[in-house]
Chains A and B, each alone.
Chain A
Amino acid sequence: MRAVLVGFILLLASCSPRTDEIVVYASVDEVYARPLFEEFTRRSGVRVLPVFDTEEAKTLGLVHRLLAEKAHPQCDVFWAGDCVRTALLKREGVLQPFQPKAGADIAAPWRDPDHAWTGFGARARVIVYNTTSVKEPPRTLSALADPKWRGRVAIANPLFGTTANHFAALGETEALRLAAALKANGVRVVGGNSHVRDLVASGDCDVGLTDSDDVWIGKDRGDAIGLVYPDQEGAGTLAIPNSVALVRGAPHEENARRFIEHLLSPETERFLAASPSRQLPVRPSVSVELSKIRTMAVDWGTLSDSEGLLDRVKRALGL
């Protein structure tokens, strides 16, 4: 028994990370992150060791890990598909301020005022509709509660991911009003944003609330769906940027800084914009598409403390 244990420990110890590596915790889609990691490795010779969250646990597993590892950090860089949990990590003292040169031309709404994180490549929260069955799609979130869409609207679980961010960004009054109205209209709540898209594409639902990248991926594979940026005459559409942050006490800090500079380069935004997810560059010099959309003004720090609100949203939706 002892021999087996010693052998096992030696085997695992031999797998310890090397110094020419960098550990990145990424709560973004693996399929888009991998090529960027490989490009960084090609340029720098530094191997990226990623940890991805599962879709259902978006960011939760990684945030718990980062909090538990606070005294003994294993991670160098946290790359999230949003900035709400990143703001939470800032509040908990897990992140180290860093002002990357490559992010100097990124405007204030897309970065933390204390330089704990920097945003890039945004996704928008959009209304997806079936182009075969819907000729006049709803243009506002409130319109999803119109009786003509009764039982034909889908949203993702409001406790996780960008749907949680969206309800939190609406604020207490509007979020609860929308949730109650959707519930009354027979909304279907599913596991993730891609399920929302699939329900709409298959005709099981007519419209839904999802992320822009999910819609573009569906359109590329031939789904009969379209998207609307909601509330362009009102509060605006929620645009959620990726966020990247340096972890306090990162074991490979120098590599981490190089990686963040690499990730914040205009090339990354161009890559994400050209990828099937068609993310919206936050730099007007890369693309003006985002500046054409009226976006919501959001305090990401406030959103990171919205568990109570999301519980109430969950109850309002009857979950």
Chain B
Amino acid sequence: MRRAWGLVLAAPLAGFLLEAAVGAGRATLQLRAWGTTLVVAGGAALLALGFGIPAGAALAHSRRTLFRVLTLLPLLLPPVLGAAAWLAARLPAPGAPGCALILGCLYWPVVALLLEASLRRLPADAIDAASLQWSTRRLLGMVVWRHVRPALLGAALLVFLLAASEFTVPALFVVPTVSMTVYEEISAFRTRSAAAAALPLVALAVALAWMLRRAPVLPASSPVRPFLQGPLLAAARALAGVAWAATALLPAVLFGWRAGSFFRNAAMNLEPIGWSLIYAGATALILITWSSLGGPRRSRLEPLWLATLVLPGVIAGLGALKIAERSGVFPYLAPSGALFVLALMARFAFVAWLPLREPVDRSQIDAAELAGLSRFRIWKGILLPAMLPRAAAAGAVVFVLAMGEIGPAVLLTPPGRMTAAQHLFGLMHYGYDGVVAALALFLFGATALVTWSAMNVGRFRTNRLAG
């Protein structure tokens, strides 16, 4: 059952590739668009490293939930809000470097979180031994850097891919990146050209999936052995504070300032907000259920799920639309919104899968099986406790990402059921600043609440057991 669903989640990408094979257009590499993409996505990756490295180090030396929520906020916000904040601040048209700045400010948490995960797995004995003999600088170079290098490389590549496939920011500012080209080619009904433009993204996604098989993506529960102290730690925390203030607090203040009567404006948009909650909730619930069932395992489909995540969202939408039409299931799935939810699930399958693919060490399962425990008892007694906090966190991430998704929404939302992000993206052009700011604030608040709640699931459960 889990495998079958895994295949279904790869269907939108397969649908798009099928359309590309039979569609119009020429298979050109779009070198000019890739040149601009290198500036935008490369710049975003560099900025993400600049913000993410000190923030990751600061996170590794702290256990406060607030800092993690502040770190996750920019990542989970729809990028269009970054562009909205830019416009709200009345800044000039940004061009490619400006787009890199906006996207870097949104994606730096990828670096911070993957770095923190890697730092929390630093071998404590190596730190202890090195700190006895070497200076801090040499310790950082010889032990820490060598240990975290793969994680940083993977994080930088992931940021590059996410920035390269982001459409809304370059579209608002007419910066011709590869995602814009994909969109333009689809607009002109040249799916083959669109697929050719996106092909390098697929290749990079497959390479990244291969890299992430080796890099730890979740922090170990044990605290990190401190390797920074004094002025270095203070500097890391100060830089992290700048990142949190600039990318999470400042946009919230900007929207709050321009929101006018928040409750009146938000009340005007209750219907799209409600539909967003339903679609995102259904997507998160089904995906987490799917990825939680069964034992620890990896899947050969992982690169396809990752590719669907890092390709422009409109590809998943168009692929789902076309394959549903060709397979004859369209009239059954589209009117209810099931096709839209399916496209959202395909987009974020990798996000739900990754934290839950190996919740416990395989040896624990083997030992339980040898002891004669049934599969249900193994799941209930060993897997479930290990998975619950991760499932809550992954569910929260999927929920807020699905809330902000626009690409598939344009093609697949059922009549009369527009999402909040779609509504917001449209309203931005009509000059309804108050309504846009109110909707943006709502997305901010929902993101913060869901993230904070998910992060406290583990603590709540521990307290309840202790009580």
Contact = CB atoms under 8 A, between A and B. Distances in A.
A15 B173 contact: no
B467 interface: no
Interface in A137-173: 157, 159-160
A17 B335 contact: yes
Nearest first, the 4 A-B pairs at minimum CB distance are A49-B416, A61-B410, A12-B336, A49-B415
Given A51-B415, A65-B411, A159-B184, 13 more contacts: A1-B2, A2-B1, A49-B415, A50-B415, A54-B410, A57-B183, A57-B187, A64-B321, A68-B325, A74-B331, A188-B93, A190-B173, A204-B93
Interface string A210-223: 00000001100100
B176 A69 contact: no
B174 A157 contact: yes
Contacts of A261: none
- Categorize the interface residue count of chain B: 35 or more
A31 interface: yes
A38 interface: no
Contact of A53 (B336, B337, B341, B410): B410
Given A23-B415, A61-B411, A192 B187 contact: no
B316 to A, nearest CB: 13
Nearest to A24: B415
A5 interface: yes
A273 interface: no
A9 interface: yes
Nearest to B285: A4
A16 interface: yes
A191 B321 contact: no
A42 B90 CA distance: 41
Contacts of A202: 90
- Categorize the interface residue count of chain A: 35 or more
Q: Is the interface of A mostly helix, strand, loop or mixed?
A: mixed
B186 A60 contact: yes
A32 to B, nearest CB: 10
B290 interface: yes
Contact of B418 (A52, A72, A198, A311): A52
Interface string B400-423: 000000100011011110100011
Contact of A191 (B172, B282, B338, B341): B172
Contact of A1 (B290, B338, B425): B290
B171 interface: yes
A201 to B, nearest CB: 10
Given A1-B293, A204-B92, A217-B431, A16 B418 contact: no
A16 B416 contact: no
Interface in B348-384: none
B379 to A, nearest CB: 12
B214 interface: no
Contacts of B93: 188, 190, 199, 204
A71 interface: yes
B286 A55 contact: no
B318 A64 contact: yes
B273 to A, nearest CB: 15
A75 B411 contact: no
A221 B429 contact: no
Given A4-B286, A64-B321, A54 B335 contact: no
B442 interface: no
Nearest to A47: B416
B334 interface: yes
Contacts of A188: 93
Interface string A166-207: 000000000000000000000011111011001100101000
30 contacts: A1-B2, A1-B293, A2-B1, A8-B282, A8-B286, A8-B338, A16-B336, A30-B423, A50-B415, A52-B418, A52-B422, A53-B426, A54-B406, A54-B426, A55-B429, A56-B425, A57-B187, A60-B183, A64-B186, A64-B411, A68-B322, A159-B187, A160-B187, A190-B173, A191-B171, A191-B174, A192-B429, A195-B429, A202-B90, A221-B431
Given A15-B337, A160-B187, A191-B172, A57 B410 contact: yes
B188 interface: yes
A251 to B, nearest CB: 9
B453 to A, nearest CB: 21
Contacts of B330: 68-69, 72
B176 A319 contact: yes
A157 B183 CA distance: 13
Interface string A32-66: 00000000000000001111111111001100110
Contacts of B286: 4-5, 8
